[in-house]
């Protein structure tokens, strides 16, 4: 019975991702972000449950990546698609399906650039496939993990909705900014950069000082900056990982 617990948690991750897909397509981006966060919560605990119960399996590994592709790969792609639409003046698609404009047209203009957002989904799929066959990513990651990337992308509509900052609103709803973020996201997902996982080496502070510092600083930033802290935390994650890698080489 216990061997099914991790897979059940993975299924809850997938269910959360499916709900987030529907919400993102309907342009309820803040609710989509909530269900992505719920999915990532289950994603963290399915692996933890498998280790604690000693029931890790090849099926669980494959199932986990399939769930992540939906929750942390497809949803961010749809959200970026919607942000491009907003940046180009396309009206929201409502629950009733009514809109003064069609889904991909504004007047006589076809919004082709919006589909660039799905580059995030393609890059996520490629990263997850590589992860499944790479035995060298047990304690570290090569490239930005898909959940971290998803949180970065999903933070953008949250900043738009809850921070009401004209400067940030103008920046985020700029085609150039969205193109750069999309390309950077796709690159970082598959970059040959070593990033630490939040698996601690025993309980000694000295052995985990970088991770404890990162978590404490992240908590402070979330309290002070709220949703605006999320992109900063992802950047700090990369920076702290580089620092930890440098320490390892020096040692």
> In this predicted model, what pLDDT tens digit does every residue of 15-50 receive, in sequence order?
999 999 999 999 999 999 999 999 999 998 887 777
Counting every residue written for the chain, the total comes to 251
Check: CB of residue 172 under 8 Å from CB of residue 158. Answer: no
pLDDT value, residue 206? 67
Q: How many CB atoms lie within 10 A of CB 139?
A: 9
**For the segment 174-186, what is each residue's pLDDT rounded down to a tens digit?**
999 999 999 999 9
pTM of the shown model: 0.86
pLDDT the model gives residue 198 = 73
Burial degree of 159 (CB within 10 A; 0-12, 13-18, 19+): buried
Does residue 250 register a pLDDT over 50? no
CB 74 within 8 A of CB 137: no
- Of the candidates 155, 174, 152, 166, the one whose C-alpha atom is nearest the C-alpha of residue 29 is 155
8-state DSSP, 138: S
Q: Residue 183: what pLDDT?
A: 97
What pLDDT band is residue 122 in, cutting at 50, 70 and 90?
Answer: very high
Please name the residue that has the structure tokens 């990532």. Answer: 40
Q: Which helix (H) or strand (E) holds 110?
A: strand 109-110
The dihedral region occupied by 89, where left means phi > 0, alpha psi between -120 and 50, and beta the remainder, is left
* Residue at token pair 């970082």: 188
Cβ-contact 84, 116 below 8 angstroms: yes
Give CA–CA dist 211/60, Å, rounded. 27
- Higher pLDDT among residues 124 and 203, named by residue: 124
Q: What pLDDT, on a 0 to 100 scale, did the predictor assign at position 110?
A: 53
Q: What is the DSSP string of 189-226?
A: HT-S-EEE-S--STT-TGGGHHHHHHHHHHHHHHHHHG
- Identify the pLDDT of residue 98: 47
- Tell whether the model's pLDDT for residue 57 goes beyond 90: no
Average pLDDT of the residues of the chain: 85
Greater model confidence, 205 or 28 = 28
pLDDT of the residue at 3? 73
Structure confidence at residue 202 (pLDDT): 55
Q: What is the pLDDT of residues 97-118, one digit of tens each?
A: 444 445 555 554 557 889 999 9
Q: At 109, is the secondary structure helix, strand, or coil? A: strand
pLDDT score of 210: 81
pLDDT at residue 207, as a whole number: 63
pLDDT tens digits for range 70-87: 999 999 999 999 999 999
CA distance 90 to 240: 39
Q: Please report, for residues 36, 43, 64, 67, 210, the alpha-carbon distance to residue 8 in angstroms, rounded to integers and kept in the order given.
A: 17, 11, 10, 11, 33
Pairing status of strand 194-196 against strand 140-142: antiparallel
- In this prediction, residue 53 carries a pLDDT of 77
């Amino acid at each position: 019975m216990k061997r099914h617990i991790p897979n059940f948690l993975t299924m809850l991750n997938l269910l959360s991702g499916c709900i987030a897909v529907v919400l993102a397509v309907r342009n309820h981006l803040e609710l989509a972000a909530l269900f992505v966060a719920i999915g990532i919560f289950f994603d963290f605990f399915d692996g933890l449950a498998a280790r604690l119960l000693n029931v890790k399996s090849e099926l669980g590994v494959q199932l986990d990546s399939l769930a992540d592709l939906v929750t942390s790969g497809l949803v961010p792609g749809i959200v970026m698609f919607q942000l491009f639409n907003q940046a180009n003046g396309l009206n929201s698609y409502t629950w009733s399906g009514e809109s003064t404009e069609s889904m991909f047209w504004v007047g006589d203009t076809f919004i082709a650039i919006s589909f660039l957002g799905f580059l995030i989904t393609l890059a996520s799929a490629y990263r997850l496939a590589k992860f499944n066959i790479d035995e060298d990513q047990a304690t570290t990651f090569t490239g930005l993990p898909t959940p971290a990337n998803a949180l970065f992308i999903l933070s953008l509509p949250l900043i738009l909705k809850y921070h009401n900052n004209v400067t940030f609103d103008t920046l985020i709803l700029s085609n150039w900014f969205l193109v750069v973020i999309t390309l950077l996201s796709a690159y970082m997902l598959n970059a040959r950069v070593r990033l630490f996982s939040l698996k601690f080496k025993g309980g000694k502070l000295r052995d985990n000082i970088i991770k404890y510092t990162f978590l404490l600083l992240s908590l402070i930033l979330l309290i002070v900056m709220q949703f605006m802290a999320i992109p900063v935390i992802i950047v700090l994650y990369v920076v702290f990982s580089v620092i930890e890698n440098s320490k390892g080489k020096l040692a």
